[in-house]
């Protein structure tokens, strides 16, 4: 059977098609600049693992429906298509950012589920409306398929209350649902499962470190999230590409009061102008790495601050887990940036971490174990694959409801 995965953003749609049960990726693509006369589609068809054919289109796309219709045309084109008819797709797995407290697991999409995703617009105004739009369009274009929602927050619903509550008046939790939710759950869950399998220990105490454009860490034991560094929204915790990470709320009060910022300005500042961009002038670690090599002092400070925050959470989560079996680096920066890994693992012998510098510099696909001989805990790099995890969870749900 075929499983189609959709990650619908405000002006983009990322998609991937898998053949099941082989878990074989068939094609993937990205529609961007939806709503413009010069929208783009990059569509790649795979032969086994290697990319064989890539098409790039520039065309007007008025909305998400027009975008997805064009994708269906590419999927079913003769010759060159990968299916003959949209009805050949058994399930569409949708990434949905916020599932609130209602969804602790992947779920079949029903009218009630859609109503709940709509209610959660207030908690994820930048993401849930776009995810919802993707669902509505897919329901039309893949009418025969089961629609499945995979929530970024669901994996973290196992956090104990003392970890997810803020020390604010209780009514703000009970009436307004202000608490820690956490994000990147699909990625943390995927790499944690891979790490536990590698360690042959289903009860492994793991710290998963997702370093992409957005960054978060999670403490995972027995496949359950016990804590995570993002919170009510995606701003807390680690330093990110353009987001600040942890900050004393007094700074916000100072910006909003004496400095005269509006709420919108503060939001733009924290979400789009801070993090590595604010510290060093770029949100791409490759640029900052080059600046560092050229002796740029701001880049050096940004790297140290970024790594120091990771070390801080490794310490915190080793306490949460009462020990440590492995840390796992993943996502764009975690998988590629040897210097970040080296700085994050330096002088961490107390926590049982000793990095093998040579292995850290080598590049190879798949899981890598970078632990040195004196390391009591493993240091792993595991490429994340959120699309595959969404497809897996969709397939599992389909089998359960067959």
Strand 39-47 with 24-32, pairing: antiparallel
Among 227, 337, 386, 387, binds ligand AMP (CB under 6 A): 337
At residue 150, φ and ψ (nearest 5 deg) are: -115, 115
* CB 121 within 8 Å of CB 128: yes
Q: Does 152 bind ligand AMP (CB under 6 A)?
A: no
Tell me how far, at minimum, the Cβ of 19 lies from ligand AMP, in Å.
Answer: 25
Task: Give the tokens for residue 45.
Answer: 């068809």
- The whole-angstrom distance between residue 39's C-alpha and the CA centroid of its chain comes to 24
Q: Which is nearer to ligand AMP, 128 or 282 (CB)?
A: 282
| Of the candidates 397, 399, 389, 396, the residue with the CA atom closest to the CA atom of residue 113 | 397
The alpha-helical segments, DSSP class H, found in 227-330 are: 249-256, 263-272, 275-280, 285-293, 297-321
Distance (Å, whole) CA 338 – CA 122: 38
Tell me how far, at minimum, the Cβ of 341 lies from ligand AMP, in Å.
Answer: 11
Q: Which is nearer to ligand AMP, 32 or 65 (CB)?
A: 32
- The whole-angstrom distance between residue 401's C-alpha and the CA centroid of its chain comes to 27
Which residue carries 């990110």 as its tokens? 240
Q: Does 42 bind ligand AMP (CB under 6 A)?
A: no
Residue in 63, 152, 304, 337 annotated catalytic: 152
Among 336, 356, 369, 372, binds ligand AMP (CB under 6 A): 336
Distance (Å, whole) CA 328 – CA 331: 10
Stretch that binds ligand AMP, among 79-87, 100-108, 165-173, 330-338 (CB under 6 A): 330-338
Q: Does 32 bind ligand AMP (CB under 6 A)?
A: no
Distance (Å, whole) CA 396 – CA 131: 21
Among 61, 96, 326, 333, binds ligand AMP (CB under 6 A): 333
* CB 315 within 8 Å of CB 351: yes
Contact characters 239-278, ligand AMP, x per CB under 6 A: --x-------------------------------------
Measured between alpha carbons, how far is residue 192 from residues 46, 83, 327 in Å?
A: 27, 33, 9
Tell me how far, at minimum, the Cβ of 286 lies from ligand AMP, in Å.
Answer: 5
Tell me how far, at minimum, the Cβ of 198 lies from ligand AMP, in Å.
Answer: 21
Element spanning 194, H or E: helix 185-199
211 labeled binding residue:
yes
Q: Which is nearer to ligand AMP, 242 or 371 (CB)?
A: 242
Q: Does 185 bind ligand AMP (CB under 6 A)?
A: no
Q: Please list, in sequence order, all residues whose beta carbon lies within 8 angstroms of the beta carbon of residue 196, skipping any fewer than 6 positions away.
A: 202, 203, 204, 206, 223
Length of the chain: 402
Stretch that binds ligand AMP, among 3-11, 15-23, 175-183, 281-289 (CB under 6 A): 281-289
Stretch that binds ligand AMP, among 65-73, 127-135, 145-153, 327-335 (CB under 6 A): 327-335
* CB 238 within 8 Å of CB 229: yes
Q: Does 331 bind ligand AMP (CB under 6 A)?
A: yes
Stretch that binds ligand AMP, among 140-148, 316-324, 328-336, 354-362 (CB under 6 A): 328-336
Tell me how far, at minimum, the Cβ of 335 lies from ligand AMP, in Å.
Answer: 8
Tell me how far, at minimum, the Cβ of 154 lies from ligand AMP, in Å.
Answer: 20
Stretch that binds ligand AMP, among 56-64, 267-275, 329-337, 342-350 (CB under 6 A): 329-337
DSSP annotation string for 69-82: HHHHHHHH-TTT-S
Q: Reduced to 3 states, what is the DSSP secondary structure of residue 225?
A: strand
| Of the candidates 141, 120, 140, the residue with the CA atom closest to the CA atom of residue 130 | 120
Among 285, 324, 326, 381, binds ligand AMP (CB under 6 A): 285
Q: Does 345 bind ligand AMP (CB under 6 A)?
A: no
Annotated active-site residue 152? The verdict is yes
Q: Which is nearer to ligand AMP, 56 or 286 (CB)?
A: 286
Binding site for ligand AMP (CB under 6 A): 212-213, 241, 283-286, 331-333, 336-337
Which residues does the annotation place in the binding site for substrate? 95
Which residues participate in catalysis according to the annotation? 152
């Amino acid at each position: 059977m075929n499983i189609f995965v959709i990650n619908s953003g405000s002006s983009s749609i990322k998609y991937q098609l898998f053949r099941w049960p082989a878990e074989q990726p068939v094609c993937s693509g990205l529609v961007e600049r939806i709503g413009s006369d010069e929208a783009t589609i990059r569509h790649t068809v795979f032969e086994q693992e290697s990319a064989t054919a890539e098409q790039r289109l520039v065309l007007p796309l008025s909305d998400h429906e027009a975008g997805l219709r064009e994708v269906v045309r590419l999927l079913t084109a003769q010759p060159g298509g990968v299916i003959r008819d949209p009805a050949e797709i058994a399930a569409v797995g949708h990434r949905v950012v916020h599932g609130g407290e209602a969804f602790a697991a992947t779920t079949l999409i029903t009218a009630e589920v859609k109503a709940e995703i709509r209610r959660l617009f207030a908690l994820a105004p930048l993401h849930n409306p776009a995810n919802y739009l993707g669902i509505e369009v897919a329901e039309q274009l893949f009418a025969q398929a089961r629609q499945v929602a995979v929530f970024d927050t669901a994996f973290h619903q196992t956090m104990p209350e003392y970890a997810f509550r803020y020390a604010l008046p209780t009514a703000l939790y009970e009436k307004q649902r202000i608490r820690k939710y956490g994000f990147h759950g699909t990625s943390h869950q995927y790499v944690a499962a891979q790490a536990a399998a590698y360690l042959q220990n289903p009860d492994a105490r793991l710290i998963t470190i997702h370093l992409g454009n957005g960054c978060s860490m999670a403490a995972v034991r027995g496949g359950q999230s016990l804590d995570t560094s993002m919170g009510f929204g995606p701003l807390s915790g680690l330093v990110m590409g353009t987001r600040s990470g942890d900050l004393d709320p007094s700074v916000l009060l100072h910006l909003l009061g004496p400095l005269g910022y509006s709420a919108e300005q503060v939001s733009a500042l924290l979400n789009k102008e801070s993090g590595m961009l604010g510290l060093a002038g770029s949100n791409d670690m490759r640029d900052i790495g080059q600046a560092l090599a050229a002796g740029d002092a701001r880049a050096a400070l940004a790297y140290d601050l970024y790594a120091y925050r990771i070390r801080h959470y490794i310490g915190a989560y080793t306490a949460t887990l009462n020990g440590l079996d492995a840390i796992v680096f993943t996502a764009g920066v975690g998988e590629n940036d040897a210097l970040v890994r080296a700085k994050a693992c330096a002088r961490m012998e107390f926590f049982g971490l000793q990095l093998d510098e040579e292995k850290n510099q080598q590049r190879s696909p798949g899981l890598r174990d970078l632990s040195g001989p004196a390391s009591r805990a493993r240091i792993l790099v595991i490429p994340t694959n959120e699309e595959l995890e969404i497809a897996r969870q969709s397939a599992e749900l389909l089998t359960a409801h067959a």
